Amino acid sequence: MKLINKAATLLVAGTLGLGLSVASHAAGDAAAGQGKTAMCGACHGADGNSMIPNFPKLAGQGEAYIAKQLHDIRSGARSVPEMTGMTENLSEQDIADIAAYYHAQKVQVGQAKKDLVEHGQELYRAGKPEAGVAACAGCHGANGHGMPGAAFPALSGQHEAYIAKQLKAFRAAGREDETGDRRTNDGETMMMRATAGRLSDNDIKALSSYINGLH
Ligand code: HEC
Ligand code: HEC
């Protein structure tokens, strides 16, 4: 019995391992990716520096994170009505190439508002221990470059309005008393719902400004 169980476990682990390595190691070709982003540029900017404050910059973003979002948007796990019909025909290779292209671009960093830096920096680096908010830097990096291997997104230079919108969407999804757009694709551990659920509007304002200038 013991042996059979062990074999079954190994088989399952082996299958999972294979699935994961295929999903995360489809090597992307940035040059090929550029040609596949013609349609994306209208909203995200030709080089991934979107000109529209509500639409995310993709320049410099981690490849695994970009790929995860494209899968989530396609499956509906993350609702992005603006991208309806744009992800259905992308192959795994297309997704890897597009991710490699945007990752290779340089993000245009903004500037934090002077009067918000102190509060934003404090929250970003130390969290709000009294309220149980973990430090953003712990997962997104001291300079906002994220943890690419873990698909923790880079935040450095991202538009203020977009950051605020995401934090509010995670907050709404993490609290029953909130209305508005909800974002729930932060996994079973609810890393962002748990974090954003305890941020005030003032906290979100300061963090969004700080992150726009962070690099
Ligand atoms: C009509 C505008 C539009 C077009 C065209 C578009 N997108 Fe988007 N995209 C958006 C918006 C808006 C969001 C964010 C929505 C939100 O607030 O959650 C988004 C989100 C994303 C994200 C998640 C970014 C993040 O930081 O989480 C990725 C990745 C992405 N788009 C890739 C693409 C790719 C690749 C294409 C082309 C195949 C594309 N988009 C075309 C509007 C667009
Ligand atoms: C325990 C790890 C963890 C902590 C702590 C954390 N985050 Fe996140 N954050 C994540 C993960 C993982 C995602 C991506 C979820 C997904 O896959 O869609 C994310 C996504 C985000 C996004 C959306 C990015 C985009 O491009 O759409 C923003 C904004 C963000 N986090 C800001 C913050 C801020 C501000 C703090 C601190 C108050 C913080 N995070 C703390 C793990 C964390």
Q: What is the pLDDT of residues 42-96, one digit of tens each?
A: 999 999 999 999 999 999 999 999 999 999 999 999 999 999 999 999 999 999 9
Statement: residue 6 has pLDDT above 50: no
Ligand 1 centroid – CA 60 distance (Å): 15
68 lines ligand 2 (CB under 6 A): yes
CA distance 165 to 21: 33
Q: Which ligand is closest in space to the CA of residue 140?
A: 2
Quote the pLDDT of residue 25. 55
Ligand 1 centroid – CA 39 distance (Å): 11
Quote the pLDDT of residue 101. 98
Amino acid identity, residue 22?
A: V
Atom number, ligand 1, closest to the C-alpha of residue 57:
26
CA distance 171 to 178: 8
Q: What is the pLDDT of residues 14-47, one digit of tens each?
A: 334 443 444 455 799 999 999 999 999 999 999 9
Q: Whose CA is nearest to atom 36 of ligand 1?
A: 40
* Least confident window among 114-118, 123-127, 174-178, 211-215: 174-178
Ligand 1 centroid – CA 79 distance (Å): 10
Atom number, ligand 1, closest to the C-alpha of residue 165:
17
The answer to whether the Cα torsion of 87, 144, 164, 196 is positive or negative is positive
Residue with tokens 């993490």: 174
Q: Which ligand is closest in space to the CA of residue 48?
A: 1
Q: What is the pLDDT of residues 113-154, one digit of tens each?
A: 999 999 999 999 999 999 999 999 999 999 999 999 999 999
Q: How far apart are the first and last CA of the chain?
A: 56
Quote the pLDDT of residue 174. 86
Quote the pLDDT of residue 122. 98
